[in-house]
Amino acid sequence: MRYITKAFAIAVLAVFAIIVGAMLMAIQVRLRIVLGKTLGEEYLAQPFSLFVILWVSSAASTWIMARSGRLTSRISYFLTVVMTLGFSTLITALLLPDISLLQLVYYVIFGVSIGVVTILLPPIQRENGRSRDFFYYVAKLWENRVLLGLWVRYNVRSRYSQTFLGIAWIILLPLSTSFIMAFVFSQIFPARFIGDVPFISFFLAALTAWHIFSQGILNGTSSLTGEMGLMSQIYFPREILVIVKLGESLVDFMFTFAAMLVINALSGVWPNINFIFLPAVILIQIAFTLGVMLFVSYITVMVRDIPQLVAVSLQLLFYLTPIIYSVQSIPENLSFILLINPIALLIDAYRSIIVYNTPPDPVNLYYPLVMAGVLLYTGYMFFKTYEKRLVDYV
């Protein structure tokens, strides 16, 4: 029992989170990419017993490493993940022979990849001679939540304080774009595969979701460079500057979302019971966006060309994402684009909920969920590790 400690429990949960993420990605890739043996509709890719095996394997591997006294470094944690992958793959193949072997191959590949990215690559952050983890910094950030809230409120108010239309500008641009797109794709180039829904509702559901990501990333490029003078004078958690920019994008999103609901109602598309799934989809997108912003904001301080590169990249990504067209219109041989573009899958989930009154496909959210978690963790640890170097670039 002396090995069953708080540190041991945290280690088990960390290993379990990594291998579950790997399995979820393996399930989505196996079900969505036509490769290998054709799976029938009766194929069960994720039985409950599979996750029991993952949990038992995580606990057993961690206990073996802890009992041998080797669970003391990042290498040992990575070896624990590898051991868990081996145990769980072998047990699954023996006890659940109906599980596709290709799915297990994907599982091992994703498990090793996630282990490398989340365990081996993030630099070790030390403070006063002690190593600090992700949750330590989250707790410190929570202590500054009042500052964060006040800063977001101030920035939003100051942005529109000297304008004639004020906060109405938040919704005018996306609405004007939507009306123009609706006219073009309903009258000049009639859009296919949208079903019996108005194109403006079809387009607005995607554009509103896209706005969180694109505006957050664009604002993130200037979040640190615009406050270099302040950072050189007083200390506060620098990630607050990045989160403030994300907060501004979320405020814009709330107003745009409200305007979208009004336009949808006028078009005959009303809120429905499936809106209960929206918070989960929004949280995944927020985590994914913040993870990208933490990387981009820091790199922009060192390479000032990043904002231009980001703007061009977002413009290209806009057309590679099903915003002005539907997922069903993408040729089958190009469907892999959806799997490598988490934003495309999230936008499809928004559209399913808001426009088509159907719950989102949970399998399609596995990849965005795992990517959001990995990006947020690695981005935050990267940011905090090199945070003290920011003032060197003033």
Residue 202 has, within 13 A of its CA and on its CB side, a CA count of 21
178 pLDDT above the threshold of 60 = yes
- Please write the tens of the pLDDT for every residue from 89-124: 999 999 999 999 999 999 999 999 999 999 988 766
Distance CA 213, CA 205 (A): 14
What pLDDT is stored for residue 256 in this prediction? 85
Which residue in the block uniquely carries the two structure tokens 């988490």?
A: 342
Burial label, 174 (beta-carbon count in 10 A; 0-12, 13-18, 19+): buried
Handedness of CA 297, 299, 303, 306 (dihedral sign): negative
Model confidence pLDDT, tens digit, residues 339-384:
788 999 999 999 999 999 999 999 999 999 999 999 999 999 989 8
Percentage of the chain beyond pLDDT 90 is: 45
